[in-house]
Structure 1
Amino acid sequence: MKNFFKKKNANPITVDIPIRPLTIAIDFDGTCVEHKYPDIGKEMPGASQTLRSLALREHRLILWTCREDFPDNPEAQYLSEAIQWFKEREIPLAGINKVPVEFDFRGEVGGRKPVFDMVIDDTNFGGFPGWPTIHYTLTGMPLI
Structure 2
Amino acid sequence: MKRNGYCIVLDFDGTCVKHAYPDVGKDIGAEPVLKRLIANGCNLVLSTMRSRDSEGVDTLQPALDWFAERGIPLYGVNENPTQKEWTSSPKAYGNIYIDDGALGAPLKADADGSAYIDWSKASAYLYYMGLLTGTDLMDMVDEGSIDLELKTE
Select which of 120, 131, 144 maps to 2:119.
131
TM-score (norm 1): 0.75
Say whether the 8 Å CA contact 1:61–1:95 is kept in structure 2. Answer: yes
Partner of 2:9: 25
Say whether the 8 Å CA contact 1:26–1:121 is kept in structure 2. Answer: yes
**CA-CA distance at 1:115 after TM superposition:** 1.6
Q: Percent identity?
A: 34
Matched, 1:93 2:86: no
SS of equivalent to 1:65: coil
Separation (CA, whole Å) in 1 of partners of 2:81 and 2:3: 21
Q: What aligned pairs does 1:1-144 form with structure 2 within 5 A after superposition?
A: 21-44=5-28, 46-70=29-53, 72-73=55-56, 76-101=57-82, 104=83, 107=85, 109-129=87-107, 130-138=118-126, 139-141=132-134, 142=137, 143-144=140-141
CA-based RMSD: 2.1
Please say which of residues 124-133 and 46-55 is displaced more in the overlay. Answer: 124-133
**CA-CA distance at 1:81 after TM superposition:** 0.7
Structure 2 regions of 5+ residues with no counterpart?
A: 108-117, 127-131, 142-153
* Cα distance change on mapping 1:19 and 1:93 into 2, 3 Å: closer
Query: Which structure has the larger Rg?
Result: 1
Matched length: 122
